[in-house]
Amino acid sequence: MKYQVMYDKGTRLRVRSGQWAFTQKEGYGLASLLLQNDFIKEVYTSHRNGSILIYYDDVKNKPKIFDILDSITFDDLFEAEATQLQVSKEITDDFILKLTKMIVRRYIGRLFLPIRIKNILTMYHSLGYLWRGFDSLTDFRIDVALLDGAAVAGALWQKDFKPASSMMFLLSISDALEDYTVQKAKSTLKDSLALNIDTVWLVGEDGTEKPYPALDIQKGDKIKVHMGDVIPVDGKVVDGEGMVNEASMTGEPLAVHKRHGKTVHAGTVIEEGNLIVEVYSINKETRLNKIIDLIENSEDLKADAQSRAEKLADSIVPYSFIATALTYLFTGDAKKALSVLMVDFSCAIKLTTPLSVISAMREASDNRMMIKGGKFLEKYATADTIVFDKTGTLTNASPKVVHVFPMTKKYTREDILRMAACIEEHFAHSIATAIVKQAEIEGLYHEEDHSEVEYIVAHGIVTTYDDKRVVIGSRHFLFDDEGIKINKRQEKKIKKEVEDHSVVYLAIDGKLEGLICIDDPVREEAKYVIEGLKSLGIENVIMLTGDSESGAKSSAEALGITDYHSQVLPEDKSRIVEELKAEGKTVIMVGDGINDSPALATADVSVSMKNSSDIAREVADISLLSDDLYDLITLRKLSTGMFDKINTNYHRIVAVNGTLLVLGVLGVITPATSSMVHNLSTMLFGALSTKSVLKDKEYNNEIQIEAAEVA
């Protein structure tokens, strides 16, 4: 590939190959080709001038990048789809280009065009505002469109072309900002729904499974989807049965039973069981992609604050007309009346509010937080209650086996651990991993002596081991659901030995045979994060866990939490969140597992952690892309800061424009001066709206220093 280096500094490199070097889609393919190298972090291409912008990790790798670029030929180019980062950057670049063109056209016109031509252009541009105002008038709507049209018409009637032009210019910027915020919201939401699955398990005619590229799947193929995985296609179940969470499709938090002959959809997640699915629809034909298409065409994605700003602007309109009419009635001076009419509160409100939302969303993105819409940032700001799942959220999800107790003389400690590891190794949850790892450390190797295992979410496992029925799981599962009997001696031993631990119980043929005590220490920073959230207005902090009462109590005390629930099931978590909402609380739910998904879907706003399951990320409104609990504080500060900024703007706008109204009524200022001050103040407030709410690194460092001092 021929190219010219345009920028080369640090770990950022820009080269240009010329206007016809590649098409837009070939540019996306070129980016994916470069990103196959681990040391290249981000790539952005522009087909307009053949530009390639590359971010990489170390200056030592620069020669490798040039070698790669030198080796690329025309035959290596292929078409691909844009990544979310590329789409987001293109939306921003297009907006900046559009804004730049608007500003350049305006000021070049003001400098070089004759006054007569400028006035003609002003009248031409006014037609749209006049028509929208006339439309509102004929529909008997007293709204912003009517006020804008009246103000422009009044200015033109008085031959005040400059104020009319300035007002229309600012209103056009406001409209461009509104379009930009909606596009960004759509883009983020579409990306959160899009499936990023590279490989599926293809089932052959003989029943064998093999990994297969997802892009090469055809209609009629059969694929196996395992528990916890996202279903990548629309299809019909031809074998197996399971519980499928369809929250991403229906919004309902409870899983649906699927068996032979039932239809499943791309984007839904298997909570329990395994399914073999015959493919009906793939890629763009799936129902999920049809929903994404609807989102693309939806106009109902504005943040609530933005909608409220528009309603507020509309509510002020009648008072503007009344003030204008009264001014003319008492003074008989059309210029004084026009000075009042030119003070358009709505212009500033409509400009600053979306800018504040954009700024907050950008800061969230910069700090590796994916928010599916501005309204979720608002809910996070106004919430008074936060509910934490314990494992993987308040803990590091790296539990360890601390004790193994045989409960009869029939099996030794090593037998219990070996059997448990043999059964649990088929599952990826953290407690299973801890048991398997402990068996490996102790050199307790095993044969596959059990039949196919059945995993019951948040309860345990049932299988047959050496022709005996074995159940392993929680106390509730064994003693309540399975009816395992326990004698007084065993109960006494449990109370004595397992206090302050989470316990996995193992029973064989209806008898309790072993206990495995698990510890999952809480994160060091969790206590200070909870204290920080309380200081920022979170009144209620609640911990939910499937652990025993003793284990939950120990963790809660370490975290400084007084309200906790132990031995909860997935449906219990959802019910608790519903009860909190019924009490009038605004609830944040933070979780990471399959069993958290019903509660995440139920909460007012939900947050998933970095290493969350597919379904948790699918359901959550906000996804943290780092594993730092302090991000919850940063997010609270950011969201409340956004509201503070919007409210401050309201007060400033009312103060400045209210003053202009009084001065206009008194005849102290002319319509031109009123319009000029109004427009300048609006631009100033717009600039202030883009100011960063917080400096995250500095803020987090302050919190961590305070935490260290407390410790």
Element (H or E) spanning 516, and its range? Answer: strand 511-519
- For the residues 437-444, what does the mean pLDDT come to? 89
User: For 485, which DSSP code?
Assistant: B
Check residue 359 and give its pLDDT: 77
- For the residues 404-414, what does the mean pLDDT come to? 90
Residues 6+ apart with CB under 8 A from 14: 5, 6, 7, 8, 51, 52, 53, 54
Domain 369-395+522-625 matching CATH 3.30.70.360: the answer reads no
The residues spanned by each domain of the chain are: 4-82, 199-229+234-281, 369-395+522-625, 400-519
- For the residues 513-525, what does the mean pLDDT come to? 85
Give dist(CA 621, CA 380) in Å, integer.
10
Selected residue with higher pLDDT from 364 and 501: 364
- Helix and strand counts by DSSP (H, E) for the chain: 24, 24
Selected residue with higher pLDDT from 543 and 367: 543
- For the residues 288-310, what does the mean pLDDT come to? 50
Check residue 705 and give its pLDDT: 45
- For the residues 19-34, what does the mean pLDDT come to? 87
pLDDT above 60 for 295: no
The DSSP code sequence of 657-683 is HHHHHHHHHHTSS-HHHHHHHHHHHHH
Element (H or E) spanning 464, and its range? Answer: strand 460-465
User: For 343, which DSSP code?
Assistant: -
pLDDT tens, position by position, 231-251: 888 889 999 888 887 755 554
Give dist(CA 138, CA 200) in Å, integer.
59
Selected residue with higher pLDDT from 163 and 700: 163
Class of domain 400-519: alpha beta
- For the residues 682-690, what does the mean pLDDT come to? 78
Name the residue among 379, 371, 548, 387 with its Cα closest to residue 475: 548
Give dist(CA 303, CA 322) in Å, integer.
30
CATH code, residues 199-229+234-281: 2.70.150.10
Give dist(CA 595, CA 458) in Å, integer.
7
pLDDT above 50 for 298: no
- For the residues 580-607, what does the mean pLDDT come to? 86
Check residue 212 and give its pLDDT: 82
Residue 255 burial by CB count (10 A; 0-12/13-18/19+): exposed, middle or buried? buried
Angle in degrees, CA 664, 669, 670, rounded to 5 = 95
The DSSP code sequence of 569-592 is -HHHHHHHHHHHHHTT--EEEEE-
Domains 4-82 and 199-229+234-281 belong to one CATH topology:
no
pLDDT tens, position by position, 355-368: 787 778 778 877 77
The DSSP code sequence of 124-157 is HHHHHHHHHHHHHHHTT--SHHHHHHHHHHHHHH
pLDDT above 80 for 380: yes
- For the residues 644-668, what does the mean pLDDT come to? 83
pLDDT above 70 for 34: yes
Check residue 699 and give its pLDDT: 45
* Confidence class for position 710, pLDDT limits 50, 70, 90: very low
Name the residue among 168, 176, 196 with its Cα closest to residue 91: 176
pLDDT above 50 for 516: yes
Percent of the chain topping pLDDT 70? 83
Check residue 446 and give its pLDDT: 66
Check residue 417 and give its pLDDT: 93
Domain 4-82 matching CATH 3.30.70: the answer reads yes
Name the residue among 517, 261, 281 with its Cα closest to residue 401: 517
Please provide the average confidence, as pLDDT, over all residues in the chain: 80
The pair of three-digit structure tokens given for residue 461, joined into one six-digit string: 């496992």
Name the residue among 607, 602, 411 with its Cα closest to residue 515: 411
